[in-house]
Amino acid sequence: MRQSTAVLFVIFICLVPSEWAKAQIDSLQPGITIEHALARGQNHSFSVNLEQDQFLQLVVDQHGIDVIVRVFSPEGKSLGEFDSPNGNEGPENVSVISVMAGVYRIEVAPLGQFENVPPGRYEIKIVELRRATEQELQAGKNQELLKARGLALLREVADSLSEIRLPQTRVRAQLQTSQLLWPSDEKLAAKLVGDAMEGVREYLASVDTLDQDYYQTYQLAMQLRQEVVQVLGPHDPETALGFLRTTRTLTSPEAGQNNSQWDQELQLELSLASQITARDPKRAVQLAENTLKKGYSSSLIEIISRLRATEPELAAKLAKEIAAKLQGEKLLKNQEASNLAIMLLRVANSPVRKYQTSISASPPAKTETTLLSEQEYKDLFEKTLAEALSYNAPPSNYYSPEKNSAQNILNSLRSMTPEMTVYAPASLAVVEKRVVELNTSSDPQSARWQKYQEGINGGTLDESLEEVGRAPREMREQLYQQVAQKALSLGDLPRARQILKDHVFNPSQRQQALSNLDQQAIQMDVSKGRIEDALRGVSNLRTSKERAMILSQIVNQIGPGRKRAVALDLLEQARNMVGVSTRVENQEQMSALLEIARAFSRYDSKRAFEVIEPLLDQFNEMSAAALVLNGFGQQYYQDGELAMQNGSSVANTANQLILALGTLATSNFDRAKAGADRLERPEVRINVYLAIAQQAIGGQVNGGRSEFRRF
C-alpha cells in the first residue's frame, strides 16, 4: 500500500452526455449501500447524476481487498484516483464538486494488478449529497488567476533561494521549485537543477568522514543524489546518470558489510531506469542490464512491471536475462538474489492489465504477456526450491545468514500453492516440514519462548491465559502482555486492560503498558473508521500531553467519510482536548494544533486560520530561543541556520507549519502568504512560500500528490 496520508481530492468536472452513460452500470443513490465481491482483473462502474454546484461525498469500505477508486469524465478521461494507506480493510473516501449538471462514473478496481491479489468484498455508498459551500465553490473558481499568482510567487522564491545557506536545505528547495516550474519555464527549471547539482557537490565536499554523525551525513548525501535523479531523470537521463557516477565520492560507513555501498548505488541507477521506462524504454532496459552485471536488486522487477503493459518484448528480454543469471548464482549466499528469484517467479506467473485510452463502456482490456517460457520458469522454480531445501541447519547457537534466505524462499514457495502443485507436487510435504523446522528455533531459550507464544496465538483467550500460567515465573509478565495484545485484537479492550492490571506488578511498567494499549486501541478505532470511539478513547488518556500526542497522529483522518457538520463537530472536540487557550505548553500540543488546522482546512478555512495564526509568533520565539540554546543538549542550527532535516522539535514544527500554511493557499492565498510573511527565519519562510505556490499551481513534487487536486 502506498505510504501516503489519506487526502481529500476536490474534483471539478463539466459533464455532458456520452456513450458510456448509456451502459448498464449501477446507479448510486443516497441511503442505499451497494455491496459486491471483487477479484483481481475485475472492475466495477457506478454512475451518479449531479446538479450544478453539488458536493458529493461517497465511501468505499474495503473488506479483505485493497481497492483503488477512479473518477472518469463522460468522455472516458481519467479525472483522478483515490487510494489511502489502509491496506485491505477500511474506507476509501471520494469527494466531488460539479460546476455543471450531468452524470459521471466511479470505477472500483483491485490495487496491484501484478500481485496475487486475493478476492474480497467492498461496500459503496453516498455519505453526503448537498449544495457546495462557498469555500468549496471558490476553490474551483478563478483557478487560472490563482495559478498565475502561484507561478509569480514561485519565481520570487527562485530569486531568493540563495538566502538559504545550508546546501542540503537549499538543494531540496531548488529541486522542488524546478519541478513546479518545468511545465511553464523549462529554462529556469533546468538552471535550478544545475544549481542543485552544484549544491550536492558542495555538500559532499564539506563532509567530515571522521565525524561521529557520519552515518547520518552519508545517508543524507545518498538521499540528495537520489532526489536530483528523480527531478532530472525524466528530462535528461544521461546527465542524471553522469551526475550519479561523478558524485560517488563518499565511502559507506558500512563498507565491507555485504557490499552495502554498491547495493545503494545499484538502487540509485535502477531508480533512474524505472523513471524513464515510458519515455525511453530501450534506454531503461540498457541501464537495467548494466546494473544486472554488477549485482541484484528487487527494483528490477519494478522496471519489468512498468514495461510489461506497453513493451512486452523488452520486459520479457530483461526477465529472461535475470533468470539466466540467477541460474548461476548461489541463492542462499546472496539474499538480494534469492529475493529477486522469488519476485520474478511471482510476477512471471501473474497477468498484466493494459488500459485502453479510447472511449468505451467496456472494462479495460486484459492482455497476457509471457515473461518466461514454460521451461525457463520451471528451471528457475526448481533451482530456487532445490537450493532452499539443501540448507542444513548449523549447530545450536550458531548464527547462519543462509538460514534467513532459506526461510524466506520456503515460506514464499509455500504460499504459491498452484505453482508448487504444477512444478513440484512431490515436494509439498517436504516444504511444509522444512518450514516448521526452520521456524522452530534451535536455541533452547528461544525455543521455550516460541512454545508459549504459539500457545498464546493458537487457542482462545482463556486457553492463552492458562498456557501462560504454566510458564516459568520470570517469563510470565511479558507473556501476559502478549495475551493482552491478543484481547485487544479481538476487540475486548476492557479485558486486555484487566489482564495487565492483574498480572503486571511493576507499577511503572504496568502504567506504560496500559498507556500503550489505550493508544493502540485508539489507532485501531481510527483505522476502522470509528472516529467517535477513538475520540472517547483520547478523552480518557491521563494527561493533556498524551492526548495531544495521539491527536497529532489521528486528526487528519477525522472528517473524510462524514457529513461536513459532523466532521466540524468532531474537529472542535479534538481542538478542545488539546487543552490550551492562547499559548501552547509543549511540542505535543503545538504538533496537535497544526494538524488540527490542516484538518479544518478541508471544511472551514477561516477556522483553520484561527487555529494556526496564534502559533506563528510563538514559533518565532521558539526558533530564536533555540538559536541561543543551540548545542546545549540539542543541535537545532547548523552554521547559524535552522537544520530543517535533523528531526529537532523546532525543525519538526517548521515542517508542519510549511504543510499547514501551504494547504490553506487554495482557499485564501493572501492570508496564507501573510502568515508566511510573519515568520522570521528566512529558510522557513521561503519553504512556506514554496508550499503555497505548489498548492496554487496544483503541482506535484517527487511523485507525490498535492493536498487538493482540481480538474
Task: Determine which of 64-78, 120-134, 170-184, 272-286 has the lowest per-residue pLDDT on average.
Answer: 64-78
Signed CA dihedral, 284, 288, 291, 296: sign only: positive
CA 87, 91, 97, 103 torsion-angle sign? positive
For the residues 48-68, what does the mean pLDDT come to?
A: 89
Give the number of other CB atoms < 10 A from CB of residue 219: 13
The per-residue pLDDT for 224 is: 94
Q: Please indicate whether residue 448 or residue 338 has the higher confidence score (pLDDT).
A: 338
Q: Tell me the angle at which helices 260-275 and 299-308 cross, rounded to the nearest 10 degrees.
A: 10
Q: Which pLDDT tens digit goes with each residue over 132-171? A: 888 888 776 777 889 999 999 999 999 999 999 999 999 9
Cell numbers for 414: 509455500
Which residue(s) pair with 59 in the sheet? 93, 125
Distance CA 652, CA 633 (A): 17
Give the strand pairing for 120-131 and 102-110.
unpaired
Secondary element (H or E) of residue 160:
helix 143-160
Q: Of 122-136, 169-183, 347-361, where does mean pLDDT reach its minimum? A: 347-361
Quote the pLDDT of residue 88: 84
Copy the grid coordinates of residue 612.
Answer: 494556526
Are the beta carbons of 381 and 342 closer than 8 angstroms? no
Cell 522469488 belongs to which residue?
342
Q: What is the pLDDT of residues 402-428, one digit of tens each?
A: 888 998 999 999 988 888 998 999 999
AA letter at 542 = R
For the packed helices 507-527 and 473-489, what is the interaxial angle rounded to 10 degrees? 20
Between 553 and 685, the more confident residue is: 685
Average pLDDT rounded to a whole number, residues 349-364:
39
- State how beta strands 44-50 and 26-27 pair: parallel
| pLDDT at residue number 367 | 44
Report the C-alpha gap between 296 and 298 in whole angstroms.
7
Predicted confidence band of residue 33 (pLDDT cuts 50, 70, 90): very high
CA distance 500 to 523: 19
C-alpha cell at 92: 476509501
Helix (H, G, I), strand (E, B) or coil at 54: strand
What is the tens place of the pLDDT at every residue in 187-222?
Answer: 999 999 999 999 999 999 988 888 888 888 888 999
Using CA atoms, how far apart are residues 42 and 122, in angstroms rounded to an integer? Answer: 13
**Dist CA 202 CA 605 (whole Å):** 41
Calculate mean pLDDT across residues 684-688. 97
- 591: phi then psi, degrees, rounded to nearest 5: -60, -45
Q: How far apart are CA 436 and CA 443, in angstroms?
A: 15
Out of 17-26, 89-98, 161-170, least confident range? 17-26
pLDDT tens track for 291-325: 899 889 888 999 998 898 889 999 999 999 999 99
Mean pLDDT confidence for 29-36: 92
| Residue 119 three-state SS | coil
CA-wise closest residue to 42 among 123, 124, 126, 120: 120
Q: CB of 159 within 8 A of CB of 118?
A: no
Contact by Cβ (8 Å): 648, 634: yes
What is the C-alpha to C-alpha distance for residues 136 and 128, in angstroms, rounded to an integer?
14
How far apart CA 401 and CA 383 sit, in angstroms, is 19
Residue 143 CB neighbour total at 10 angstroms: 16
Instruction: Give the residue with greater pLDDT, 600 vs 646.
Output: 600
Please compute, for residue 461, the number of CA atoms within 13 A of its CA located in the half-sphere on the CB side.
15
- 355 vs 337: CA distance, rounded Å: 32
CA atoms within a 13 Å half-sphere pointing along the CA-CB vector of 254? 13
Tell me how many helices (H) and strands (E) the chain has.
28, 14
Residue with cell 548461489: 330
Q: How far apart are CA 345 and CA 624, in angstroms?
A: 57
Q: For residue 10, what is the enclosing H or E element?
A: strand 10-13
pTM: 0.77
Rounded-to-integer distance, Cα 467 and Cα 456, Å:
7
Pairing mode, strands 641-642 and 34-38: unpaired
Buried-state track 424-462, b at ≥16 Cβ within 10 A, e below 16:
beebeeebeebbeebeeebeeeeeeeeebeebbeeeebe
CB of 233 closer than 8 Å to CB of 188: no
Which has the minimum average pLDDT: 9-23, 297-311, 624-638, 649-663?
Answer: 9-23
Does residue 16 surpass a pLDDT of 80?
A: no
> Do 391 and 406 meet the contact criterion of CB atoms below 8 Å apart?
yes
Nearest-10 Cα torsion for 176, 177, 181, 185: -130
**Which residues lie closer than 8 Å to 256 by C-beta, 6 or more apart?**
none
Calculate mean pLDDT across residues 552-569.
85
Neighbours of 221 (CB within 10 A): 18
The answer to whether 193 and 206 have CB atoms below 8 angstroms apart is no
* Residue 647, pLDDT score: 87
Percent of the chain with pLDDT over 70: 87
Measure the CA–CA gap between 176 and 395, rounded to whole angstroms.
54
- Comparison of pLDDT for 1 and 644, the residue scoring more: 644
Give the angle 700-684-138 at the CA atoms, nearest 5°: 50
Beta-carbon contacts of 236 under 8 Å, excluding residues fewer than 6 positions away, are: none
pLDDT of residue 79: 65
Cβ(172)–Cβ(702) under 8 Å? no
377's CB contacts (< 8 A; 6+ apart) are 323, 345, 348, 349, 423
Helix (H, G, I), strand (E, B) or coil at 367: strand
**Domains of the chain and any CATH numbers:** 10-132 (2.60.120.380), 444-505 (no CATH)
Average pLDDT over residues 384-399: 79
Please give the DSSP secondary-structure letter assigned to residue 213: T
Mean pLDDT computed over every residue of the chain: 85
More confident residue, 703 or 149: 149
Would you say 319 and 348 are in contact if contact means Cβ atoms under 8 Å apart? Answer: yes
C-alpha to C-alpha distance for 26 and 107, rounded to whole angstroms: 11
- Segment 230-238 shows an average pLDDT of 91
N- to C-terminal Cα separation, the chain: 25
Q: Compute the chain's Rg from CA coordinates.
A: 28
pLDDT digits (tens, 9 = 90+) for 570-589: 999 999 998 766 788 899 99
Beta strands across the sheet bearing 102-110: 26-27, 44-50, 102-110, 67-72, 78-82
pLDDT at 385 over 90: yes
Tell me the three cell numbers of residue 286.
Answer: 540498457
Three-state DSSP at 41 gives: coil
Residue of 114 and 375 predicted with greater confidence: 375
What confidence score (pLDDT) does residue 369 get? 59
What is the per-residue DSSP string for 403-433?
Answer: HHHHHHHHHHHHH-HHHHHHH-GGGHHHHHH
Per-residue confidence at 452, pLDDT binned at 50, 70, 90? confident
The grid cell for 74 is 463522460
Rounded Cα–Cα distance for residues 46 and 48 (Å): 7
Select the more confidently predicted residue: 667 or 394. 667
